[in-house]
Structure 1
Amino acid sequence: MTEPSKVIHVRNVGHEISEIDDLFLRQLQNDLLQLFQPFGVITKLVMLRAKNQALVQMQDVPSAVNALQFYGNIQPSIRYKRLALIQYQSRQSAVMARSTLQKPGYGDSGNMYAAQGSGAKTGDNYFKLLWLMPNAAAIAAAFGGGLPPGITGTNDRCTILVSNLNPDRIDEDKLFNLFSIYGNIVRIKLLRNKPDHALIQMGDGFQAELAVHFLKGAMLFEKRLEVNFSKHPNITQGADAHEYVNSNLNRFNRNAAKNYRYCCSPTKMIHLSTLPQDITEEEIVSLVEEHGTIVNSKVFEMNGKKQALVQFDNEEQATEALVCKHASTLSGSVIRISFSQLQNI
């Protein structure tokens, strides 16, 4: 059997799609993107208007496979239409499908997509950039079938106000390291007239809700954080706002569904990944020991890649280690740190 490709063929997209207006077409495009974005980066999406179908190209084959497997158990629907999904089983058929995607998109690393404009012809495509929103059903599946208690999934406010920060020890990058656990960060602004306050704009309302829910009351630098939704819909670009929208350190550019599954309140245990292959437990301990009392640690290998667990005496120490050492460089590798929900090593 030939191996699958990253192109997914979606049928039964809409009734008489060739006759609908451009606004409704864009709504259909957004609905499709919401279905597939939690499984990985979407590099191209083309609406086949004459056939009531669409082609969705994921960045890699595993993302396409995960989407097909998930929707094999849950029938997806958009605009009251039930869809039929096909993953191409041969390279030749995938190449033929991609022939309609001739012009490369201008999309970035996962929060944007390249969509064929309505009325464009093959070989003369034009593209628009649109912001992706998560799909609640797929995200609920990532959490084991339902959203965590206290999470509604209906919030549409993207900007968060964080207060009671320690102004002597906090900066934008440290806030990014913490809040990026719950979603992609657009920009962060420390308030000059209130040095213990900051605004953080998340990628969408659901990610903002996760951050507010899981970080409210967390301890950082001997301060208990107050985390709430801001009255401001977004943060205005400017010299006093740090941009992160194109940062390759944003955690949800790939494997979004997997990252949602790991969202939790701060714990005593941190998980370190993207480590150098020759890393030792002593080097890991040396990297983070300044941030608290280490109870236990372990270096292990999974899928041929070195990873580590470090257990601190309390959640505040683990949070400080994550905030200060995530994205630091060790022997040429950029270290990724997240909270682990394991109780013990």
Structure 2
Amino acid sequence: MSNPTPSTANGNDSRHFKGDRSPCGPSRVLHVRKVPIEVSEAELVSLGVPFGRVSNLLMLKGKNQAFIEMASEEAAITMVNYYTTATPHVRNQPVYIQYSNHRELKTDNLPNQGRAQAALQAVNAVHSGNMTLGGTASGGDGTLMPGQSPVLRIIVENLFYPVSLEVLHQIFSKFGTVLKIITFTKNNQFQALLQYSDPMNAHHAKVTLDGQNIYNACCTLRVEFSKLTSLNVKYNNDKSRDFTRLDLPSGDGQPSMDPAMTAAFGLSMHTMPGALGPLSMAPSGRMTLHGMGPGAVHSVLLVSNLNPDVRVYGDVHRVKILFNKKENALIQMADATQAQLAMSHLNGQRLHGKVIRVTISKHQTVQLPREGQEDQGLTKDFSGSPLHRFKKPGSKNFQNIFPPSATLHLSNIPPSITDDILKDLFAGTGYTVKAFKFFQKDRKMALIQLGSVEEAIQALIDLHNHDLGENHHLRVSFSKSTI
């Protein structure tokens, strides 16, 4: 097969590349398709460096294609095998990699190859370990090249199960030595900064984990390079950790992660069926998910300022209104996951003009009063209620859990109920109905928009499980959609 020519590089001659559209035998030259036009040479080189040294690169921007030449055929085979099972993304666009008919790339006489050679030298230098940790190794123009920071910024989306610092450490340790982790919440999203000992470990983790789910159909990782090159960790606790400094204080009265919590969120996460556990790499390089679930340690909430019905975020098993502080209550959820959801979505919301405060309680269960003990009806047991909506582990209901909003999702509506009946039901209970619509394909469900988020919370408490007749109880939850 002939090698690329100058006309090929300019995108004017596709004759040499037609064979690449059909499967070829192994070659150290790889053909990359659907390449976004704005992609840099360094980003393409970075696709290959986790698998070995990249020896050459040819970009055909006019054709949205490129050729990557690996230093060895073995590295190319590993790369193709891996990307066959985990489609790589560049600039949030999927790209496709296969063997080329070319055995090598000869690009010495081609124009516009200067940037490709600079990118090769810079990225391969990082891969070879020629950069000091936290340093400022740079490309020829003095700017940091992609992949040169050992620090990753991690965002966890669709947080339906709790994700702890320990879980992140377990996942990211598969790609190298993790030195430091800092977790925090920003823009209502769980985020983390994570520092590796080697910037190439950070690159490999980013390429592999970005877009992957920690648990089945949820807790999606978004991974990008941080502008920071080193993290400064002051405290070792459940929010931050410097694994090289075990002598650091826990800080601000926050306890370090206790052994029970570490075990629950670490390797021994077997307590909850139906959920899949942390990611790991099989010897083949293929992503696998172990059949482990998020651990259940504390499923009891302390709710202040009122006694809200938090069933929208899980199944309430027991409620205990505190004798000396009747505006406070202990609420035991079915498991720790549901407790975490209720806390993250309800804490800080307003109801009856007061701000709800929801925290995880130090109590692990709500004790029922002993036989003959009078507690004035302050403790109730709902564990046997037929109205629970999260009885099945891994139920699709968990995928339809959203923060409080002014629009409510109504379901389990019998055929005889009209839109006017439902609007009158909400208006007659004292709520402002701004909009209403049935689902086009399923009139058992509808959306109703009320005057405010606070109104919607109160309406859910008042009307969830309302008897509509015909043996139908109305199901009410918060919607992610608007009308």
The Cα shift of 1:240 comes to 3.1
Q: Is the 8 A contact 1:188 1:201 kept in 2?
A: yes
TM-score (structure 1 length as normaliser): 0.52
Select the residue among 357, 360, 364 that pairs with 1:226. 357
Q: Tell me, what secondary structure is at the counterpart of 2:465?
A: coil
- CA RMSD between the two structures: 3.0
Residues 187 and 268 from structure 1, CA distance in 2 versus in 1: closer, same or farther, beyond 3 angstroms?
same
Q: Tell me, what secondary structure is at the counterpart of 1:161?
A: strand
Q: Which one scores higher on RCO, CA 8 angstroms, separation ≥ 6?
A: 1
CA distance in 1, matches of 2:355, 2:479: 21
Q: Is the 8 A contact 1:153 1:209 kept in 2?
A: no
**Higher mean displacement: 275-284 or 288-297:** 288-297
**Residue 435 of structure 2: aligned partner:** 296
Select the residue among 358, 383, 407 that pairs with 1:269. 407
The Cα shift of 1:257 comes to 3.2
**Residue 309 of structure 1: aligned partner:** 447
Residues 278 and 256 from structure 1, CA distance in 2 versus in 1: closer, same or farther, beyond 3 angstroms?
farther
Whether 2:338 is the aligned partner of 1:212: answer no
Residues 264 and 139 from structure 1, CA distance in 2 versus in 1: closer, same or farther, beyond 3 angstroms?
farther
Amino acid at match of 1:294: V
Amino acid at match of 1:230: S
Whether 2:295 is the aligned partner of 1:164: answer no
Higher share of residues assigned helix? 1
Correspondences of 1:1-345 after superposition (within 5 Å): 133-137=272-276, 156-165=297-306, 175=308, 178-238=309-369, 239-254=377-392, 256-289=394-427, 290-300=429-439, 302-303=441-442, 305-332=443-470, 333-342=472-481, 344-345=482-483
The Cα shift of 1:200 comes to 0.4
Amino acid at match of 1:279: I
The Cα shift of 1:137 comes to 2.6
The Cα shift of 1:337 comes to 0.5
Residues 227 and 218 from structure 1, CA distance in 2 versus in 1: closer, same or farther, beyond 3 angstroms?
same
Q: Tell me, what secondary structure is at the counterpart of 2:367?
A: coil
CA distance in 1, matches of 2:417, 2:378: 38
CA distance in 1, matches of 2:393, 2:423: 28
**Per-residue CA shift, 1:299-331, capped at 9, x if unaligned?**
23545x522210012100111110100011112
Residues 314 and 194 from structure 1, CA distance in 2 versus in 1: closer, same or farther, beyond 3 angstroms?
same
Q: Tell me, what secondary structure is at the counterpart of 1:320?
A: helix
Amino acid at match of 2:385: S
Amino acid at match of 1:267: S
The Cα shift of 1:227 comes to 0.2
Residues 269 and 298 from structure 1, CA distance in 2 versus in 1: closer, same or farther, beyond 3 angstroms?
same
The Cα shift of 1:255 comes to 7.2
Where structure 1 has 5 or more consecutive residues not aligned to the other structure, the ranges are 1-37, 39-72, 77-130, 141-151
Residues 132 and 250 from structure 1, CA distance in 2 versus in 1: closer, same or farther, beyond 3 angstroms?
farther
CA distance in 2, matches of 1:327, 1:256: 22
CA distance in 1, matches of 2:273, 2:382: 19
CA distance in 2, matches of 1:199, 1:139: 31
Q: Is the 8 A contact 1:181 1:338 kept in 2?
A: yes
**Residue 94 of structure 1: aligned partner:** none
Q: Tell me, what secondary structure is at the counterpart of 2:342?
A: helix
**Residue 81 of structure 1: aligned partner:** none
Residues 132 and 297 from structure 1, CA distance in 2 versus in 1: closer, same or farther, beyond 3 angstroms?
farther
CA distance in 2, matches of 1:139, 1:298: 40
Q: Tell me, what secondary structure is at the counterpart of 1:306?
A: coil
Task: Report how many residues are paired.
Answer: 196
Amino acid at match of 1:288: F
**Residue 31 of structure 1: aligned partner:** none
**Per-residue CA shift, 1:139-185, capped at 9, x if unaligned?**
99xxxxxxxxxxx95562110000012xxxx5xxxx3xx41222222
Q: Is the 8 A contact 2:272 2:296 kept in 1?
A: no
**Per-residue CA shift, 1:275-303, capped at 9, x if unaligned?**
12111111111111234322111123545
Q: Is the 8 A contact 1:139 1:260 kept in 2?
A: no
Amino acid at match of 2:436: S
Amino acid at match of 1:286: D
Residues 279 and 139 from structure 1, CA distance in 2 versus in 1: closer, same or farther, beyond 3 angstroms?
farther
**Higher mean displacement: 222-231 or 246-255:** 246-255
**Residue 247 of structure 2: aligned partner:** none
CA distance in 1, matches of 2:271, 2:444: 32
CA distance in 1, matches of 2:360, 2:434: 35
Q: Tell me, what secondary structure is at the counterpart of 2:454?
A: helix
CA distance in 2, matches of 1:245, 1:301: 36
Amino acid at match of 1:338: S
